[in-house]
Amino acid sequence: MPPANSRQQSASNSQPSAIPVLWIDEAILAIAKPAGLRALPDGYDPAIPYLKSLLEPLYGQLWVVHRLDKETSGVVVLARTAEAHRALNTQFEQHRIQKVYLALVKGMPEWEEKTVDLPLRPNGDRKHRTVVDPRQGKPAVTRLRVLERFKDYTLIEASPETGRTHQIRAHLAAEGFPLAGDRLYGGGEPLHPLEGFALHARSLSLKHPVSLEQLSLVAPYPEEFQSMLERLRLVASQP
């Protein structure tokens, strides 16, 4: 296998700029998913573009290893062989993948760091939300750290140790700090220029399924996410 830097390709060389490529080799493809793009086909309208439908014409057959919500941007890894798919699935199932998200929340937490350990049950109410359920919920742990404070909003680093459906959204809402723009969990209307909630899958660390080297994949801020933060900084700086 060639050196790591020879396997990395810029988005301009391999893919439309809307889906930047973070890493590609014979076993895996890592991309920075834009917000608004589905990871899987729409159940009501299969003709709506989704991740595999856009990528497979360029890279051949791909296997979905994990997914992000439609409105979440950031790192997504896909397998390019069945063997790589099995190896990556095992890492996810055994919680050996390290994930870091950046979440803009409504409100101003009094703490700087906090670990949320609340069991979660998906599809737990009439709105099909993931809910905290001490009896029927599955264990879920998310480590939180404040990165930056604005007026009425806070940027938080969220590191989930488990992979429950809507885990970060549900845990933040349970703490009283829903994602900005997350209508489902009480975060209100999206902040301009975002069209959805403010959650970005910043980085993902895993063991390469073939070489076994440790990879750390980082997705830059999408332009609209960066613009939103700059607007909040401007407002916060005003007297």
Q: Tens digits of per-residue pLDDT, 116-133?
A: 999 999 999 999 999 999
Whether the pLDDT of residue 21 is over 50: the answer is yes
Query: What average pLDDT does this structure show over 221-226?
Result: 96
Chain center to CA of 140: 16
pLDDT over 70, % of the chain: 93
- pLDDT grade for 17, boundaries at 50, 70 and 90: very low
Q: What is the pLDDT of residue 45?
A: 83
φ/ψ region of 174 (left if φ > 0, alpha if ψ in -120 to 50, else beta) reads alpha
Whether the pLDDT of residue 184 is over 90: the answer is yes
Choices 3.30.2420.10, 3.30.2350.10, 3.60.150.10, 3.40.50.300: CATH for 4-237: 3.30.2350.10
For the chain, the structural domain boundaries read: 4-237
Whether the pLDDT of residue 14 is over 50: the answer is no
Q: What is the pLDDT of residue 6?
A: 34
Query: What average pLDDT does this structure show over 52-71?
Result: 94
Element (H, E) at 102: strand 98-106
Buried b (16+ CB within 10 A) or exposed e, 115-127: ebebbbbbebeee
Write out the catalytic residue numbers: 69
Distance (Å, rounded) from C-alpha 201 to C-alpha 191? 18
